[in-house]
Amino acid sequence: MLTGAVAREVLALLAAVPAPAAGPAVLAVDGRSGSGKTDLAAALAGRTGAAVVHMDDLYPGWSGLAAGVDVLAGLLATLRTGAVAVQPVWDWARGAYTRSVELPTSGLVVVEGVGAGVAGPVELVVELVADPAVRRERALRRDGATFAAHWDRWAAAEADLFARRPLRPDVTFASGTGAGAVPSWA
């Protein structure tokens, strides 16, 4: 189901969910690396004007997947109070959090990335799945040699995270089935 209908379907599902008592509605787009999360989040933001939190900005380096999920858990807890949550942004070249971004206290926040749907309560969890070979090809095309050197370790961290904190999606979409398949969510 690689059509613009996916973004529309996700937004229709979200519209049927009660609004939070305080803070913005939060939609999590989760799945393994290369499954199309960033593309779907961009399509959703393009249709709604939502703020987007990229989990890549929260992970403190290649060994930081679980720690990034914990950072998101803190942000979600703050958003649920209606207060301003200040998101740190990891600089992968410098190996440190080097800046921060304030998240909105109303509207919609889309969180995309591995672990986005297991950090804490959100209004809707969308899972994207794809064949492992397709995911690897997409991720390496996107991030090149930088990711290639870390692919196996990152995949093991993903498996460990989801074994300890199982993803319980509200809806799952397949984002491509063959080599070279590119998601088309807009």
Q: What is the rounded (10 degree) CA torsion for 99, 161, 122, 68?
A: -10
pLDDT the model gives residue 177:
57
Structural domains for the chain: 5-15+23-174 (3.40.50.300)
Q: Between 15 and 183, where is the model more confident?
A: 15
Query: The whole model's pTM is what?
Result: 0.92
Q: How many other CB atoms sit within 10 Å of the CB of residue 77?
A: 15
pLDDT of 135-181, one tens digit each?
889 888 887 788 888 889 999 999 999 999 999 999 999 976 554 44
Q: Does the pLDDT value for residue 1 go beyond 60?
A: no
